[in-house]
Amino acid sequence: MDKKILLTGDRPTGRLHIGHFVGSLKNRVKLQNEGSYQNFIMIADMQALTDNARDPEKIKNSLFQVALDYLAVGIDPSKSTIFVQSQVPALNELTMIYLNLVSVSRLERNPTVKAEIKQKAFGQSVPAGFFIYPVSQAADITAFKASVVPVGEDQEPMIEQTREIVRSFNNIYQKDILVEPEGYFPEKGQGRIPGLDGNAKMSKSLNNCIYLSDSEEDIKKKVMSMYTDPEHIHVEDPGKVEGNTVFTYLDIFAEDKDHVAELKEQYRQGGLGDVKIKKYLNDVLQDVLRPIRERREAFEKDPKAVYEVLEQGSKAANLVAEKTLQEVRDAMGINYFK
């Protein structure tokens, strides 16, 4: 039987952080190693350029960083095709074709894009390419006929919009060529970590991230600076566990759930200091991140090999996407000279 197809990716605008790790990377590695999918992992540099047109150098550097992060967490080029979006031209043509199936007002209603436009403070100057990136994302997914898309929950509206485009295309051109994808999300409460400052989102612009590439000292310093319970001043004071970032991280990363439960109990009663819980969290995080960092450092020493992975991956991805594009053109009857 043909394997189901999985496609996913990230915008390269910096190094990846532990929010990416729990939000999507962990699931991608898990699904990859289950062996029941054909995996395509894409570095979405074209999408990153939609709001970084003046800084292609940043995207180029980030592309390499994200490739290292992928390899470091265990995306394995012998099991997954890792490729670069801009090196697969069929994706752009599919985007143009799909743009005619989507209204401007529908794009305006995409909640993720709406939130990003607000957050990035574009004002009246939203780049048109940024505004339509959900359509280019639909091209990414459908070019590979992916049925599974492991991403963070914030990407759900993109998958919904892709499904609409697929239905619309198949319906208008009366061909069952494109495949409706499903999102694959982390378990409840496991996929979203707040920033070090307690902000709901970990994001580079807020400077509240722990990166997969952070050194042991960076991690320790960051953990020690974390937001806890502002009213927990003296060790003997009873403290709050809900909304306390240290406990939120422990719930996600600590394996010894019983120990975390004990710590919570003690913290609530009073008598457990912030330094102690932070030290424990530091130990837990160091254990998770050490092997990732070590693998990352090894790959970093051989950039040629990393680019080779991307080049081979992009070649393989090209063949698949080009084939879908020709099917799409055939279905529309616009391959005039064939």
| Contact call for residue 317 and ligand TRP (CB under 6 A) | no
Q: Which of 335, 288, 310 is nearest to 81 (CA)?
A: 310
Give residue number: closest CB to ligand TRP.
44
In the stretch 141-160, what mask flags binding to ligand TRP with x, by CB under 6 A?
A: x-------x-x---x-----
In the stretch 47-76, what mask flags binding to ligand TRP with x, by CB under 6 A?
A: x-----------------------------
Residue where the block lists tokens 């422990």: 250
Please tell me the distance from the alpha carbon of residue 6 to that of residue 37, in angstroms, as a whole number.
6
Among 45, 51, 69, 140, binds ligand TRP (CB under 6 A): 140
DSSP 14: S
Residue where the block lists tokens 């160091």: 286
In whole angstroms, the minimum distance from the beta carbon of 12 to ligand TRP comes to 9
Please tell me the distance from the alpha carbon of residue 281 to that of residue 220, in angstroms, as a whole number.
9
| Comparison of 51 and 229: residue with beta carbon closer to ligand TRP | 51
In the stretch 99-138, what mask flags binding to ligand TRP with x, by CB under 6 A?
A: --------------------------------------x-
- DSSP labels, 283-294: HHHHHHHHHHHH
- Considering only 2-10, 93-101, 119-127, 238-246, which stretch makes contact with ligand TRP by CB under 6 A? 2-10
| Contact call for residue 86 and ligand TRP (CB under 6 A) | no
- DSSP labels, 233-288: -STTS----TT-HHHHHHHHH-S-HHHHHHHHHHHHHS---HHHHHHHHHHHHHHH
| Contact call for residue 9 and ligand TRP (CB under 6 A) | yes
Among 8, 81, 142, 324, binds ligand TRP (CB under 6 A): 8
**SS3 label, residue 4:** strand
Q: Six-digit token pair at 197?
A: 């400052």
Q: What does the binding site for ligand TRP look like in residue numbers (CB under 6 A)?
A: 7-11, 44, 47, 137, 140-141, 149, 151, 155
